[in-house]
């Protein structure tokens, strides 16, 4: 058993953390800022189906809404690969800190990991812009 390298990507958002958490925990909002979900999400029972763009169709299961700002989700790729994504919204002064734990999976080379990290950073920046203007 091995522990894989990880990187925590995060952004501060100047908006009440509860409002940020409520927005982030609602799967219907994810396509507005999480570009990896392609054209959007469609509910399928407890899961959501997304056209993941270049990665194909994916099945996403989100943690239930909670008072802790935990917005974890499990993504199952068409290939059967299951990716656990840890996403947290934490109070930070009068605002929020949103953190995503990116794991360097064994199936990724360093270039793919860096590309994934850049993608997550872009999504977090989009989330910040969206919530700070609204």
pLDDT tens, residue by residue, 86-113: 999 999 999 999 999 999 998 889 999 9
What is the pLDDT at residue 53? Answer: 65
What is the pLDDT at residue 39? Answer: 64
CATH code reported for the domain at 6-27+61-133: 3.30.530.20
Domain boundaries, the chain: 6-27+61-133
Please state, rounded to an integer, the average pLDDT across all residues of the chain.
91
- Residues of the chain short of pLDDT 50, as ranges, are none
How much is the pTM? 0.90
Q: Write the DSSP assignment of 71-130 as a string of letters.
A: --EEEE-TTS-EEEEEEEEEEETTEEEEEEEEE--TT--HHHHHHHHHHHHHHHHHHHHH
């Amino acid at each position: 058993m091995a522990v894989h390298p990880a990187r925590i990507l995060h952004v501060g958002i100047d908006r009440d953390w509860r409002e940020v958490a409520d927005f982030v925990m609602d799967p219907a909002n994810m396509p507005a800022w999480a570009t990896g979900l392609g054209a959007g999400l469609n509910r399928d029972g407890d899961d959501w189906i997304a056209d993941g763009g270049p990665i194909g169709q994916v099945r996403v299961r989100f943690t239930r809404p909670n008072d802790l700002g935990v917005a974890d989700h499990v993504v199952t790729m068409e290939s059967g690969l299951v990716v656990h994504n840890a996403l947290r919204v934490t109070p930070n002064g009068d605002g929020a800190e949103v953190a995503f734990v990116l794991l360097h999976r064994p199936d990724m080379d360093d270039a793919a990991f860096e590309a994934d990290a850049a993608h997550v950073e872009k999504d977090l920046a989009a989330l910040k812009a969206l919530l700070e203007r609204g």
